[in-house]
Amino acid sequence: MSFTRWRTAVVFMCFWLGVCTSAQARTPTDTLVIAWSIDDMLTLDPAESFEFSAGEILGNSYQPLVGFDLNDVSKVFGVVAQSWSVSSDGKTFSFTIRPGLEFASGNPITAADAVYSLTRAVKLDKSPAFILTQFGLTPQNVDEKVRQTGEMTFEFETDKPHSPQLLLYCLTANVASVVDKKLVSSHERNSDLGYNWLKTNYAGSGPFKIRDWRANEVVVLERNENYQGPQTTLARVIYRHMPESSTQRLLLEKGDIDIARNLTADQIQAIKENADVSVQQGVKGAIYYLGLNQKNPYLAKPQVRQAIKHLIDYTVIADTLMKGKVSVHQAFLPKGMFGALELTPFSLDVEKAKTLLAEAGLADGFTVTMDTRNTAEATGIAQAIQKTMAMAGITVELIPGDGQQTLTKYRARRHDIYIGRWGPDYQDPHTNAETFARNPDNADNADSKTLAWRNAWEIPEMTAATDAAVLELDSQRREQMYLDLQEKQQQSSPFVIMFQEIEVIGTRSNVKGFVIGPSFSTNSFQSVTK
């Protein structure tokens, strides 16, 4: 039996080793460790990147031409750009670059870099390029429209006299970040404008530089010594990919990570008891909505659309399932954005819904499907909606799918109800108006697949109103136009807008200074101290 004893001893030794080595693994004081689900990251190139996690990482490592004050978004100031002016016809913008700035590589920032960054983004024509090409830029004409006029000056010519607000907000987006022309061009292969290199490398000037990206595993950022602004106290910031929210919570409570980003509403309530951990909130611009496909004969009836808006228990969902993670919001411009409507005319009213359905001749209700992404939030909200809709006789079948599958179906207009989350692409109201209130061509093979198109909503007048609003130069008149659009939408649209997202993060109590902005690219950890 000595054999067995020997083997048992080996096994015990293993466990003992394990016991001994589980020493307290606190994070180093000069490193910020963030646990987040970063499997959506596809690239590090600002001209191509469009995902949330990459947006935040690039927002902290690259600098745009202009920025806006998070507490008062109407205040726009220059970051890389020092000043700008608009020509009298409203179509040419001249920018002057701030002198004395440098990239992380040591190369000075000049107008050549700004022009290179913008033209490169248009020529590569990747997902976020539309933010710039909507000003009439094409890969063919961009070299002529965006031109360098001096060492530190350049001009940007648009096709129509858009509101200057719009252009400036668009230039705060990640796609317009300034990249290091010398560095990127030196890695160019086969005139790809450095595309293949910049996918996994860094060429920026922000407070942090990106040291390493291992997909679905980790992203490591380091302090940029050449940054001209106030130096951060952190030497390093590490994002660890952690898809499980309960794992994030465990590690946060033990101190193995500093910030947990994907905690659920219940976990947030539970960790509030823990003195070592604090909770931080910030209003985000993303909104949760239901899209009712007008191709479905039941949903096409206006009374049905309005009835459904009364068959959701907004406040209860916001107070229980999504406690602390959403606020009730029922207009397509999120709170905090210029022109946002704060009216919330809808609440759960089964009687009113039943009356409306009877008016539409559907007193006995009907059956309909809802495409739901299989995330915990979407599934939870969908099930709650399923319950309240059943009270008026509407039977909702949930069809689950992962993000890609449901999206494919949505874009092919093969859904009945789609539960979605829409985040703004830049800080101007046109980003959401353009998709909720604009449908220039309702044909099946139309080029522009706005959300209104995806739900087959034919709105020629609203489209014209949206187009007019983006060209309106007087900001008060512009604001009123957006308020009108939202009110009209609330009364007639196939969009049931339900909530606005609140980003909630759990942090160790000694971590202070993490800023949560309205979009992920405006989240900043530059001023974090531990």
Identify residues 319-378 at the interface with other proteins (CB under 8 A).
319-321, 372, 374, 376
270 binds other proteins, rule: CB under 8 A: yes
First to last CA, the chain: 56
Among 407, 421, 261, 418, residue whose Cα is nearest residue 329: 421
Per CB under 8 A, the list member of 90, 161, 365, 380 interacting with other proteins is 380
Mark the segment that binds other proteins (CB under 8 A) among 151-159, 315-323, 333-341, 478-486: 315-323
Per CB under 8 A, the list member of 106, 150, 243, 345 interacting with other proteins is 243
- Choice between 254 and 512, CB closer to other proteins: 254
Among 278, 366, 289, residue whose Cα is nearest residue 329: 289
Mark the segment that binds other proteins (CB under 8 A) among 112-120, 146-154, 326-334, 406-414: 406-414
Report whether 311 contacts 295 (CB < 8 A): no
Interacting positions 68-87 with other proteins (CB under 8 A): none
255 binds other proteins, rule: CB under 8 A: no
Local structure of residue 427 (DSSP, 8 states): S
386 binds other proteins, rule: CB under 8 A: yes
Beta strands (DSSP E) in 37-125 are: 66-68, 76-78, 81-86, 92-97
Among 243, 248, 284, 282, residue whose Cα is nearest residue 263: 248
Q: How far is the CB of 18 from other proteins (least distance, A)?
A: 4
Q: How far is the CB of 316 from other proteins (least distance, A)?
A: 5
443 binds other proteins, rule: CB under 8 A: no
**What is the C-alpha separation between 316 and 309, in angstroms, rounded?**
15
Per CB under 8 A, the list member of 13, 235, 363, 390 interacting with other proteins is 390
Angle CA(165)–CA(53)–CA(519) in degrees, nearest 5? 30
Report whether 338 contacts 74 (CB < 8 A): yes
Report whether 152 contacts 99 (CB < 8 A): yes
313 binds other proteins, rule: CB under 8 A: yes
Contacts of residue 440, Cβ cutoff 8 Å, sequence gap at least 6: 446, 448, 463
Per CB under 8 A, the list member of 96, 105, 200, 281 interacting with other proteins is 200
Residue with the two structure tokens 């609140």:
502
HSE (side-chain half, CA atoms, 13 Å) at 175: 27
Residue with the two structure tokens 């909130």:
281
Helix axes 350-359, 302-309, angle to 10 degrees: 170
- Choice between 251 and 459, CB closer to other proteins: 251
Q: Which amino acid, residue 394?
A: I
447 binds other proteins, rule: CB under 8 A: yes
Local structure of residue 18 (DSSP, 8 states): H
Per CB under 8 A, the list member of 190, 191, 404, 476 interacting with other proteins is 404
Q: How far is the CB of 135 from other proteins (least distance, A)?
A: 14
Mark the segment that binds other proteins (CB under 8 A) among 82-90, 245-253, 286-294, 458-466: 245-253
Residues binding other proteins: what is the number (CB under 8 A)?
Answer: 94
- Choice between 205 and 245, CB closer to other proteins: 245
Would you give the binding string for other proteins spanning residues 87-126, x where CB under 8 A is met?
Answer: --------------------------------------xx
Q: How far is the CB of 21 from other proteins (least distance, A)?
A: 4
> Checking DSSP bridges between strand 259-260 and strand 31-36, what pairing results, if any?
parallel
Mark the segment that binds other proteins (CB under 8 A) among 102-110, 176-184, 314-322, 324-332: 314-322
**What is the C-alpha separation between 424 and 433, in angstroms, rounded?**
10
HSE (side-chain half, CA atoms, 13 Å) at 270: 10
Interacting positions 207-226 with other proteins (CB under 8 A): 214-218, 220
Q: How far is the CB of 346 from other proteins (least distance, A)?
A: 18
Mark the segment that binds other proteins (CB under 8 A) among 326-334, 395-403, 497-505, 511-519: 395-403
Report whether 443 contacts 429 (CB < 8 A): no
Interacting positions 466-525 with other proteins (CB under 8 A): none
Helix axes 475-492, 302-309, angle to 10 degrees: 100
300 binds other proteins, rule: CB under 8 A: no
Per CB under 8 A, the list member of 162, 181, 249, 309 interacting with other proteins is 249
Q: How far is the CB of 66 from other proteins (least distance, A)?
A: 22
Interacting positions 423-442 with other proteins (CB under 8 A): 425
Sheet holding 92-97, edge to edge: 81-86, 92-97, 153-157, 146-150
264 binds other proteins, rule: CB under 8 A: yes
Per CB under 8 A, the list member of 112, 407, 502, 515 interacting with other proteins is 407
**What is the C-alpha separation between 140 and 144, in angstroms, rounded?**
8
Q: Which two tokens stand for residue 528?
A: 């974090």
Q: How far is the CB of 129 from other proteins (least distance, A)?
A: 7
Q: How far is the CB of 480 from other proteins (least distance, A)?
A: 28
- Choice between 98 and 199, CB closer to other proteins: 199
**What is the C-alpha separation between 413 and 82, in angstroms, rounded?**
46
527 binds other proteins, rule: CB under 8 A: no
235 binds other proteins, rule: CB under 8 A: no
Interacting positions 120-149 with other proteins (CB under 8 A): 125-130, 133
Interacting positions 20-59 with other proteins (CB under 8 A): 20-22, 25, 27-28, 31, 33, 39, 42-43, 50-51
Among 424, 419, 434, residue whose Cα is nearest residue 485: 434
Would you give the binding string for other proteins spanning residues 150-169, x where CB under 8 A is met?
Answer: --------------------
Report whether 60 contacts 44 (CB < 8 A): no
Q: Which amino acid, residue 172?
A: T
CA distances from residue 360 to 40, 181, 309, 364 in whole angstroms, order as listed: 43, 61, 15, 11
